[in-house]
Structure 1
Amino acid sequence: IEKTREVAKGDDAGAIKSAITELEQASHALSKTLYETAQAGGDGAASSAGETAQSDDDTIDAEFEVKDS
């Protein structure tokens, strides 16, 4: 980010485009890593939450309808 800011202060359009491209690639790589980490962690959390809900005897599954007075 800092490199892109410094290059943007100049007048060289080619250097600015190159710096932006590098920043976009780094951003996409970061997003991909975060997404993969969330997916790996999310699957485990969802399965353990499902197990807890199944063993909870106080849980009542019901439907309801809201009526206006």
Structure 2
Amino acid sequence: MTTTAVLVMVVSLLVVWGGLALSIWRLRRDTRQDADADADADADADADAGAGADAGTPGPSAPPPGGAPQP
């Protein structure tokens, strides 16, 4: 094999692996940013709903613990 062919193969492998690494890095970064944005939105929604110390207690529209009363 000639030197040119070896160089072309090495460069093409570097381009392929570099592109793969770049795409994985970008996907992971976007996913992490989306997760952070979702967590911020959930925290804002909880704050707007008044969730605090009583976050575990059911609200007035929740059915009783045994289920809805039967007639």
Letter in 2 for 1:35: A
With CA pairs under 8 Å and 6+ residues apart, which has the higher RCO, 1 or 2? 1
Size of the aligned set, in residue pairs, is 51
More helix by share: 1
Say what the alpha-carbon RMSD is for the aligned residues. 2.6
- In the alignment, structure 1 segments of 5+ residues that lack a partner are 1-10, 65-69
Q: Flag as ranges the 4+ runs of structure 1 deviating above 4 A.
A: none
Unpaired runs of at least 5, structure 2: 1-8
Give the whole-Å Cα distance in 2 for the aligned partners of 1:43 and 1:19. 36
How many Å apart are 1:49 and its aligned residue?
7.3
TM-score, scaled to structure 1: 0.55
Q: Rg: which structure is higher?
A: 2
Q: Equivalent pairs: percent with the same residue? A: 2
TM-score (norm 2): 0.54
Query: Which residue number corresponds to residue 16 of structure 2?
Result: 16
